[in-house]
Amino acid sequence: MSRIRNFFMSVFLFAHCVCMINAQSVKTPVDYVNTRIGNISHLLVPTFPATHQPNSMIRMIPGHHDFVTDRMRGFPLNVPSHRQGDVLLLMPYRGTLEEGNEPFVYRYDHERSTPYLYSVFLDDYGVEARFAPMKKAAIYSFAFEPGDTPGIILRTNGQGELVWDAGALSGYEVYNGIKHYFYLEFNQSPTRVTSLDWKNVQARAAAFDPAVKRVVARYGVSYISVDQARKNLKKEIADFDLERVADHAKLAWNEALSKIKIEGGTEDQRTVFYTSLYRAHERMINISEDGNYFSAYDGKVHADNGVDFWVDDWVWDTYLALHPLQILLNPKEQEQKLASYIRMYEQSGWMPTFPCVFGDAHCMNGNHAASVFADALNKGLRFDVEKAFEGMKHTVMTESMIPWYRGPKTALDDFYHEHGWFPALHPGEKEEFTQVGPFEQRQAAAVTTAASYDDWCIAQLAKYLGRDSDYRFFEDRSYNYRNVFNKKTKFFHPKDKDGNFIEPFDYIFSGGIGSRAYFDENNAWTYNWDVRHRISDLIDLFGGEEPFITRLDQLFVEGMTRAKWQYYAVHPDATGNVGQFVMGNEPSFHIPYLYNYVGQPWKTQKRIRMLMESWFRNDLMGVCGDEDGGGMSAFYIFSSLGFYPVSPGIPMYAIGSPLFERSEIRLANGKVFTVIAHGASWENKYIQSAKLNGVEYDKTWFTHENIMEGGTLELLMGNRPNKGWGIGEGATPPSSEFVD
């Protein structure tokens, strides 16, 4: 009997051990995140291994901006704005600092980075540094190997004020004209705190007893005051337990990333997916502090009245995919972002284009806040539509359209308002408007197509409000792209002030660096498809489906016509090439889905899979262009789920080719939208048949309402295209008539 009992006990213990091992090996979503993906750029700006909580005011990126170096400057208390520098560096050291030493750099090794915890070893000083974030407070730990006296320097990167008082360091650094306040405490009392005479920076050095092996610094930040920074610290971090903070941050990340559950695919695909979802939660950031916020748009502190204030958005990069994604995942927060845009308009006089913590950086062309509003409106979000319309109308009618210039309209703008196209200069023709930058130039055709789409978006707001005359006005202007379409060549083609096309013209290279005289960062091959709001009309401009398909096919095989080094010397932003298609830049995102509009959805399925497999990988160069804080990542998220919002403002999604056998979007309304792709694999990329909520489905699109109601899109996948699926009556995705 005892042998039987021992046998069953052994079986139980074995099964228990197996269960424990499996439980320990099960990955949570954040465990898939690889912050190193894209840390080496193809040409321009890499991704950065940021450690932060989702959309939080504090972000930490170690003080090196190149993965292949082994040097770093120090550890910032914050990175206030995406890709635009850090503030207040902590710099551990050992020994005695020589008077007058300039800021030094570290050699480093054994760097480990996750969204919730960062660590690195500093070779020369024998120091292990660790970091973990809350939302407005964070904690650093510095473990010193035995040796000389340990110390920590806190320095600004320029103008600021540092104060040691009552056992804490506090003060501010001036960041792009605004004060970034902080309040910092150590777990050990320094033996002395001294000022350092470093040129053009403020610096304080805290020295500790030689017996001290570990110094922990906890701190809070604020845009309001030092006292508010102290309150933020006390509210979020009660002790010096870094592990507790890291666990809290990990929990926050898993909560955010678990809104999409995926099954199937490869380990690398799951890693790229959740890394992309992590990057889609870097911007915008919530800077409300205890019911108040500082606004750089009028330089004042305001009560937020229960609606948080959000900044840090480059809307030219984010309106296409990141904002539509956030509508699905975080609709309440998206409504707060819309309210924040409206506040920025009320406080500054114009709707911003690149709203940062320091104000409107006002980059690129167009004012695609109009798209963010129209998309939210037509997808059922709530915001002050009256005020949004007022702000957009006032901005596009009174602010200049000149790229990268923020100021009142000029005679160039008056020309556009009268004639319907932005006039271009001939090669060698002198620029007479000083507001036009010598590098960014007029971008004449791109400005015209961007304004046409923005006007269509503003028309949606006017229609909702019942403003018939405003609706007709902006609706008519939304056709202005026709004015720069060359029917002879079937390209968008810049015109001069007399209405003549610029000739001669090279559709690959004309326009200088990034084709900026006429387009923006990309050439005419990319902007040939820059009509998201009226794709059926664009097809008609080409002369129908066949010539449209022919040109679309040619896009993906058209050669560079020059050596790569010569091509990229002119088009450094145009990376991730497939022919003249540019995966690495936002204006291209919708283009592969256009085959759905002309009865060849199998080509969309083939092309999307090829693009994801080629240009989004689990390695250091796994992002093919400037990721721009979530813009490119959101494209990948949508495409890997199997659909994409081709036309923000039109509440529907075009179907592509899912990577995963099962995906679930867990919506804020408690419902779940599921995509099942039976047999999906590297080989099985083609849709054979489809069902929506159990009913046979032959359309290559579905509505936003279909998602929000919950339900299931079920696809049968195969290794050969079914050219008969998705081509029947009503199969083609609707253009603007869906909402007009």
pLDDT of 450-465, one tens digit each? 999 999 999 999 999 9
Could you tell me the CATH number of the domain that includes residue 386? 3.30.2080.10
Q: Are residues 220 and 325 in the same domain?
A: no
526 backbone φψ class: left, alpha, beta (φ>0; ψ -120 to 50): alpha
At 295, is the secondary structure helix, strand, or coil? strand
Which amino acid would we find at residue 635? F
pLDDT for residue 572 is more than 80? yes
Within a domain: 24 = no
Within a domain: 522 = yes
Within a domain: 532 = yes
109-131: average pLDDT: 96
In the block, tokens 């055709």 appear at 445
Higher pLDDT, residue 99 or 581: 581
Q: Are residues 124 and 189 in the same domain?
A: yes
Higher pLDDT, residue 5 or 225: 225
514 backbone φψ class: left, alpha, beta (φ>0; ψ -120 to 50): left
Q: How far apart are CA 366 and CA 238, in angstroms?
A: 46
Within a domain: 216 = yes
Which amino acid would we find at residue 686? Y
The 10s digit of each residue's pLDDT in 260-314 is 999 999 999 999 999 999 999 999 999 999 999 999 999 999 999 999 999 999 9
Q: Are residues 421 and 542 in the same domain?
A: yes
pLDDT attached to residue 158: 86
pLDDT attached to residue 69: 86
Tokens of 583: 């995966």
Q: Are residues 346 and 410 in the same domain?
A: yes
Neighbour count for residue 737 (Cβ, 10 Å): 10
CA angle 326, 328, 332 (to 5 degrees): 70
Within a domain: 575 = yes
Q: Tell me which of 257, 287, 321 is where a domain ends.
A: 257
Neighbour count for residue 192 (Cβ, 10 Å): 10
The tally of domains found in the chain comes to 2
Q: Are residues 392 and 513 in the same domain?
A: yes
Tokens of 363: 């980059």
421-441: average pLDDT: 98
Q: Are residues 218 and 328 in the same domain?
A: no
**β-pair type (581-582, 577-578):** antiparallel
pLDDT for residue 421 is more than 70? yes
Q: Are residues 502 and 644 in the same domain?
A: yes
DSSP, res 418: H
Distances 525 to 314, 565, 580 between C-alpha atoms, Å: 24, 19, 6
The 10s digit of each residue's pLDDT in 295-304 is 999 999 999 9
Residue 175 structural domain: 49-257
Write down the H helix ranges in 130-190: none
Mean pLDDT of the chain, nearest integer:
95
Distances 681 to 609, 643, 677 between C-alpha atoms, Å: 10, 17, 9
Write down the H helix ranges in 420-544: 444-465, 468-477, 524-527, 535-542
Within a domain: 36 = no
List phi, psi (to 5°) of 102.
Answer: -75, 160
The 10s digit of each residue's pLDDT in 57-99 is 999 999 987 888 889 999 999 999 999 999 999 999 998 886 5
pLDDT for residue 337 is more than 50? yes
Torsion of the alpha carbons at 494, 499, 502 and 504, rounded to the nearest 10: 140
Q: Tell me which of 210, 232, 257 is where a domain ends.
A: 257
- Burial (CB count within 10 angstroms: exposed 0-12, middle 13-18, buried 19+), residue 467: middle
The 10s digit of each residue's pLDDT in 166-218 is 999 999 999 999 999 999 999 999 999 999 988 888 999 999 999 999 999 99
pLDDT attached to residue 101: 64
Torsion of the alpha carbons at 631, 633, 638 and 641, rounded to the nearest 10: -170
- Partner residues linked to 109 by β-bridges: 121
List phi, psi (to 5°) of 168.
Answer: -140, 150
Q: Are residues 317 and 233 in the same domain?
A: no
Could you tell me the CATH number of the domain that includes residue 101? 2.70.98.10
Write down the H helix ranges in 292-437: 315-318, 322-329, 331-348, 369-378, 385-398, 411-419
pLDDT attached to residue 99: 59
648 backbone φψ class: left, alpha, beta (φ>0; ψ -120 to 50): beta
Q: Are residues 384 and 463 in the same domain?
A: yes
CA angle 694, 676, 690 (to 5 degrees): 50
Q: Are residues 328 and 251 in the same domain?
A: no
Three-state SS letters, 347-366: HHCCCCCCEECCEECCCCCC
Helix-helix angle 601-615:631-641, to 10 degrees: 130
The 10s digit of each residue's pLDDT in 671-705 is 999 999 999 999 999 999 999 999 999 999 999 99
Within a domain: 41 = no
The answer to whether 367 and 454 are in contact (CB under 8 A) is: yes
For the chain, give the number of residues.
740
pLDDT attached to residue 707: 98
Three-state SS letters, 102-141: CCCCEEEEEEEECCCCEEEEECCCCEEEEEEECCCEEEEE
482-504: average pLDDT: 98
Q: How far apart are CA 256 and CA 137, in angstroms?
A: 19
The 10s digit of each residue's pLDDT in 371-410 is 999 999 999 999 999 999 999 999 999 999 999 999 999 9
The answer to whether 708 and 669 are in contact (CB under 8 A) is: yes
479 pLDDT tier (thresholds 50, 70, 90): very high
| Radius of gyration of the CA atoms of the chain, in A | 27
160 pLDDT tier (thresholds 50, 70, 90): very high
Helix (H) or strand (E) holding 249: helix 242-257
At 160, is the secondary structure helix, strand, or coil? strand
pLDDT attached to residue 20: 40
Within a domain: 184 = yes
Which amino acid would we find at residue 384? D
Q: Are residues 371 and 233 in the same domain?
A: no
The answer to whether 130 and 244 are in contact (CB under 8 A) is: no
pLDDT for residue 545 is more than 50? yes
pLDDT for residue 13 is more than 50? no
The 10s digit of each residue's pLDDT in 588-617 is 999 999 999 999 999 999 999 999 999 999
Q: Are residues 545 and 429 in the same domain?
A: yes
Which of 404, 409, 411, 413 lies closest to 436 in space, CA to CA?
A: 404
Neighbour count for residue 302 (Cβ, 10 Å): 16
Number of H helices, E strands in the chain: 19, 35
